[in-house]
């Protein structure tokens, strides 16, 4: 089939009946729910953009194997040109949603592409696992499937491993093997956009210990597979608020969900890893599924940071507050932060290496530096926005107030900004800012930057330990090696 249109994506959504729970009720049809309707349209737009002459050459490439167009995120990178093609595609998608939707289809396309390009690793353990991931990649690519993923165990007791939890099946594990596949039971979080996707892929961060064998697995199933419950978190918007009052929350809500597998059958041909603690612990370091998606996340995060910084600048400018030195200093810092991330991205892309299997990978130290800095830079941007907007972020009339003929002249008099910024223009800017720095939508977007790819504290600690192991501290050693020893005390 090749690339899908938005209409084909929506048709696929309509054709499925996953068990989605929202606010204590089963959702019969996601497209009838105001919470999901607009975000589904935003995803559909991305599929339509693949057919738009303005974006098609960025978002798609010809697949050599099928002779059809495929999403650029399915391109296996072999050289710098491939890296930059993917980079451009990630940026086009990110700009469309201002970086606020982190789990657009390109994210998991990149993960599965990376797994398939590194199927040699799975083949070392089991020929079938490698064949399965290669076939799954083709299935996603050729049908333009939208995937969600669930890799983290629920926070039942973080001081214990999976097999030590009070209930053997709170964490997702294998119950039994059958001729047709494995039966899995338990939960995984935090599957973003699960309700609006076609299929889910499950795998895990490293950290398995002996005894965890039943939990050491990777597989994929459709979201409407029998026995899968999708339990959504509380929505951050009600789906009916006006786009004037909530320009972002009303459009870009990415609903997250807990996935509960109640004896789900996973056919053998969709099992990518099973019952092997060593393979599960090496999946991340050996297959590039940290680095390749980090390229998408880095580009997307850069656009989101840049967007938030521009909103902060607009807030300051709209009320003339950027005439003050400390405001200029704060905004200058934010702009420099975006330049740091942009420069790091270009460095990571430029300093690529080719693995012995022919895969082009960005500089992992630089990518991880981006990942380490964003959980500080993004919240800092939000903090500056809150401080500059101050009380004005709360003192805002609604769209309904604007529509009142009686109230409108008063609003126009009292809510305007500096010369040239009328009340409507100023309120549009402040409402944008409030969605980012005050609303639940914005707080989720902030939490996303901290945690979307793991705990930033442990990630930075792992980074330090690896850096120390791989890099001689030779500059420091150079001076230490010089013969500046303590002199004998001088006795006169």
Pairing of strands 19-22, 228-232: parallel
CA dist 89 and 71 (Å) reads 9
State yes or no: residue 259 binds ligand FAD (CB under 6 A): no
Q: Which is nearer to ligand FAD, 60 or 104 (CB)?
A: 104
- Where do we find the tokens 């420091």? 476
User: In the complex, what is the shortest distance from the CB of residue 369 to ligand FAD, in angstroms, rounded to a whole number?
Assistant: 19
User: In the complex, what is the shortest distance from the CB of residue 102 to ligand FAD, in angstroms, rounded to a whole number?
Assistant: 7
HSE-up of residue 124 (Cα within 13 Å, Cβ side): 11
State yes or no: residue 424 binds ligand FAD (CB under 6 A): no
**Of 190, 248, 331, 348, which lies in the binding site for ligand FAD, with binding defined by CB under 6 A?**
190
Q: Which is nearer to ligand FAD, 112 or 427 (CB)?
A: 112
Q: Among residues 42, 71, 74, which one has the least CA distance to residue 58?
A: 71
State yes or no: residue 152 binds ligand FAD (CB under 6 A): yes
CA dist 149 and 151 (Å) reads 6
Q: Among residues 420, 444, 407, which one has the least CA distance to residue 102?
A: 444
CA dist 421 and 449 (Å) reads 32
**Of 71, 93, 151, 312, which lies in the binding site for ligand FAD, with binding defined by CB under 6 A?**
151
CA dist 113 and 136 (Å) reads 10
Measured CA to CA in angstroms, residue 298 lies from 105, 369, 372, 404 at distances of: 15, 10, 11, 44
Q: Which is nearer to ligand FAD, 61 or 299 (CB)?
A: 299
State yes or no: residue 451 binds ligand FAD (CB under 6 A): yes
* Residue number of the CB atom closest to ligand FAD: 192
User: In the complex, what is the shortest distance from the CB of residue 171 to ligand FAD, in angstroms, rounded to a whole number?
Assistant: 12
Q: Which is nearer to ligand FAD, 256 or 330 (CB)?
A: 256
Residues in a beta bridge with 218: 273
Number of residues that bind ligand FAD (CB under 6 A): 20
State yes or no: residue 457 binds ligand FAD (CB under 6 A): yes
Q: Which is nearer to ligand FAD, 125 or 205 (CB)?
A: 205
Q: Among residues 234, 237, 365, 252, which one has the least CA distance to residue 307?
A: 252
Q: Which is nearer to ligand FAD, 198 or 256 (CB)?
A: 256
Residue spans of beta strands (DSSP E) within 36-119: 60-62, 69-71
State yes or no: residue 455 binds ligand FAD (CB under 6 A): yes
Interactions with ligand FAD, residue window 428-447 (CB under 6 A): 444, 447
* Rg of the Cα atoms in the chain: 25
Q: Which stretch binds ligand FAD (CB under 6 A): 278-286, 328-336, 399-407, 449-457?
A: 449-457
User: In the complex, what is the shortest distance from the CB of residue 219 to ligand FAD, in angstroms, rounded to a whole number?
Assistant: 14
Interactions with ligand FAD, residue window 293-312 (CB under 6 A): none
Alpha-helical runs (H) found in 319-418: 325-350, 364-389, 399-403, 408-414
Q: Which is nearer to ligand FAD, 364 or 454 (CB)?
A: 454
DSSP H or E run through 451: helix 440-451
State yes or no: residue 252 binds ligand FAD (CB under 6 A): no
CA dist 463 and 366 (Å) reads 11
**Of 85, 86, 103, 361, which lies in the binding site for ligand FAD, with binding defined by CB under 6 A?**
103
**Of 4, 85, 149, 361, which lies in the binding site for ligand FAD, with binding defined by CB under 6 A?**
149
Query: Which chain residues interact with ligand FAD by CB under 6 A?
Result: 103, 149-152, 155, 158, 190-192, 256, 444, 447-448, 451-452, 454-455, 457-458
């Amino acid at each position: 089939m090749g690339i899908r249109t938005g209409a084909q994506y929506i048709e696929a959504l309509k054709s499925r009946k996953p068990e989605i729970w929202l606010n204590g009720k089963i959702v019969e049809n996601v497209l009838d729910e105001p919470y999901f309707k607009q975000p589904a349209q935003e995803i559909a737009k991305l599929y339509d953009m693949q057919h738009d002459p303005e974006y098609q050459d960025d978002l798609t490439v010809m697949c050599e194997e099928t002779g059809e167009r495929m999403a650029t995120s399915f391109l296996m990178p072999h050289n710098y040109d491939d890296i930059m093609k993917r980079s451009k595609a990630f940026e086009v998608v990110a700009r469309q949603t201002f970086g606020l939707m982190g789990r657009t289809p390109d994210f998991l396309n990149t993960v599965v592409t990376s797994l398939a390009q590194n199927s040699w690793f799975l083949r070392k353990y089991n020929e079938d696992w490698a064949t399965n991931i290669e076939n799954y990649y083709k299935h996603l690519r050729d049908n333009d499937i939208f995937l969600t993923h669930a890799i983290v165990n629920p926070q039942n007791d973080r001081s214990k491993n999976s097999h030590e939890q009070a209930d053997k099946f709170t964490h997702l594990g294998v119950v039994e093997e059958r001729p047709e596949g494995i039966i899995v039971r338990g939960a995984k979080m935090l599957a973003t956009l699960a309700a609006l996707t076609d299929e889910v892929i499950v795998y895990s961060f490293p950290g398995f210990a002996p005894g965890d064998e039943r939990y050491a697995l990777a597989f994929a199933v459709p979201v409407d597979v029998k026995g899968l419950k999708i339990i959504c978190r509380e929505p951050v918007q009600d789906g009916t608020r006006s786009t004037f009052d909530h320009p972002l929350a009303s459009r870009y809500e990415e609903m997250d969900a807990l996935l509960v597998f109640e004896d789900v059958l996973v056919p053998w041909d969709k099992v990518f890893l099973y019952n092997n603690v060593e393979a599960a612990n090496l999946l991340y370091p050996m297959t590039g599924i940290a680095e390749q998606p980090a390229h998408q996340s880095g580009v997307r995060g850069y656009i989101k940071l840049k967007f938030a910084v521009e909103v902060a600048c607009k807030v300051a400018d709209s009320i003339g507050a950027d005439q003050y030195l400390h405001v200029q200093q704060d905004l200058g810092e934010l702009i420099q932060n975006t330049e740091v991330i942009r420069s790091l991205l270009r460095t990571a892309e430029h300093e690529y290496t080719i693995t012995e299997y022919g895969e082009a990978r960005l500089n992992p130290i630089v990518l991880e530096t981006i990942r380490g800095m964003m959980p500080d830079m993004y919240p800092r941007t939000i903090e500056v926005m809150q401080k500059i907007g101050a009380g004005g972020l709360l003192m805002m009339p609604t769209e309904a107030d604007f529509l009142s003929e009686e109230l409108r002249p008063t609003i126009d008099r009292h809510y305007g900004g500096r010369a040239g910024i009328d009340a409507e223009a100023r309120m549009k800017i402040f409402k944008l800012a409030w969605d980012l720095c005050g609303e639940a939508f914005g707080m989720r977007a902030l939490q996303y930057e901290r945690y979307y790819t793991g705990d930033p504290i442990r990630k930075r600690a792992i980074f330090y330990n690896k850096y120390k192991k791989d890099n001689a501290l030779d500059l420091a050693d150079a001076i230490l090696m010089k013969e500046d020893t303590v002199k004998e005390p001088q006795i006169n």
